[in-house]
Amino acid sequence: MKGISGETKNLGVIGWPIVHSLSPAMQAAAIRAAGIDYAYIAMPVHPEALTQAVAGLRSLGFRGFNVTIPHKTAIIECLDKIDEDARRIGAVNTVVIEDGRLSGHNTDVTGFLRGLSRQGMTVRGKRAALFGAGGAARAVIWGLAKEGAERITVGVRDEMKARAALADLASVVNLEVFSWEDTAFRDALKNAALLVNSTPLGMTPKLEAIPPVDWNLVQPSAFVYDIIYTPARTRFLQEAEARGHRVLNGTSMLVGQGAEALALWTGIQPDEAAMERALLDALAGKREADRA
């Protein structure tokens, strides 16, 4: 592989902290597979230094960068423009730098929908039920709305807080929000063709946690999607599988959003199989390190 030179185009990811990011492994694999002269690095950026860091990346000629916690919303003020997905979600995870101008994008929508599409799952004209109302949920909700879902019902722990957080989306999407213990949400489970967990319940290390779902209410044909990818099979997905549901975890969403970002920067369609292999290898290495 050709080494880094003065011709190499630079990419990266910023966050605080950033050591947990799996993006460098995925993007490096895609860059190698494509044979293009790019380099992708992780860059720790303290929240107080965000403005200076973004200005520095622009000055250094970076082609673009990913954005992770805690900068996804704050970075909007540093950009020249944002796309419709980022505007609706209220968060940016990908920045493209072209002719000195910074444009913000949110590729989580594409990643989420790509996972469904590859499983042959369509949501147009169908109803979906969703656990959670955080940042990830906004990407899921907007993605489902773009794909023509008939109705999206959100179940949450704190109904008042969630209604306020999703009020802007509710004005443009057929969306309803209830406590996940509410009879109305339980009724929605009966009619949902798609059930999504967008909460962190079940994520490593709290493996026994699960959203409060009564599987007896869920249609046997319902597709069950958990956007968590560590572990690969949450308790939520294990219980769904045991009842015969088709299931999907968050790996495809993570790979899909990364692939869309690289496509925005380079104009190529990345090798997603190579990205997924690199991601799974990185996750396996992380598990080994955690056990050591």
**Rounded-to-integer distance, Cα 15 and Cα 68, Å:** 5
Query: Residue for token digits 């996750």?
Result: 283
**Terminus-to-terminus CA distance in the chain, angstroms?**
32
Any catalytic annotation for residue 72? yes
Q: Strand pairing partners for 95? A: 65, 104
**Rounded-to-integer distance, Cα 136 and Cα 157, Å:** 16
Alpha helices in the chain (DSSP H): 23-34, 50-59, 84-89, 108-118, 135-146, 159-165, 167-170, 183-191, 235-242, 251-266, 272-291
CA 29 to chain centre: 19
φ, ψ of residue 13 to 5 degrees: the values are -135, 135
**Rounded-to-integer distance, Cα 144 and Cα 148, Å:** 6
User: Are 247 and 221 spatial neighbours (Cβ–Cβ below 8 Å)?
Assistant: no
Q: Catalytic: which of 72, 126, 146, 190?
A: 72
Residues with active-site annotation: 72
